[in-house]
Structures are given as C-alpha cells and as structure tokens.
Amino acid sequence: DIQMTQSPSTLSASVGDRVTITCRASQSISSWLAWYQQKPGKAPKLLIYKASSLESGVPSRFSGSGSGTEFTLTISSLQPDDFATYYCQQYNSYHWTFGQGTKVEIK
C-alpha cells in the first residue's frame, strides 16, 4: 500500500501566522490527494481535493499544492477557528491511506 508521511505531527502557531503542512507519498499519486480538517468529536471536513482544488465554502486562506509525491497545505493567515488536526489522504489507489495527522495548536 502507498504510505503517506505527514509532517510535522504538532505545530504551535499564533493567530495571523502562515502555516505549512507537508505530506509525502511513498510512490507517485499524481494529484489524487485530499486535505481534511478535524475538530474534537466531529467528522473530518474536506478542505482541498485533487491536491489544489478548494472545496466550496472553504475560506481562501487555505490552499494546496504539489503533485507526484510531495504535497503541501498552506494556511496563509491562521485564524482562531483553524486550530484543529489536519490529515492528508491519497485516493490514487483503491486502498486509500491517510497521513498520521498534524495538530495545530495555539502558541
């Protein structure tokens, strides 16, 4: 199966900071990558699909980039509502896999 390595596992940041999370695939997944945000007790919420396409209703401060094996999620100016855990997911193969998650904490 394709392994997804996400970094960092925890990130401490302040409101207004620019934040970048990285996801690396063990083999090429083209652009078949999604990013989710999850808050405690809630289902994951889709932010980005196909590596760089912003889901409808998601603020434009979120952006995704990359293709092949290297991907990034960027939050251009961190807002109080953005403190959460973020996951990448590959759906290039029938066996999906997720990164281990990045918890964004208040500094």
CB atoms within 10 A of CB 99: 25
- Please report how close the Cβ of residue 17 comes to another protein at its closest, in angstroms: 24
Is 2 a residue that touches another protein (CB under 8 A)? Answer: no
Q: Determine the Cα–Cα distance for residues 102 and 54; give it in Å rounded to an integer.
A: 19
Among 14, 16, 43, 60, binds another protein (CB under 8 A): 43
CB of 44 or CB of 68, closer to another protein: 44
Is 60 a residue that touches another protein (CB under 8 A)? Answer: no
- Please report how close the Cβ of residue 13 comes to another protein at its closest, in angstroms: 20
Q: Determine the Cα–Cα distance for residues 62 and 4; give it in Å rounded to an integer.
A: 20
Q: Determine the Cα–Cα distance for residues 87 and 47; give it in Å rounded to an integer.
A: 10
Q: Determine the Cα–Cα distance for residues 21 and 8; give it in Å rounded to an integer.
A: 7
Binding site for another protein (CB under 8 A): 34, 36, 43-44, 46, 49, 55, 87, 89, 91, 94-101
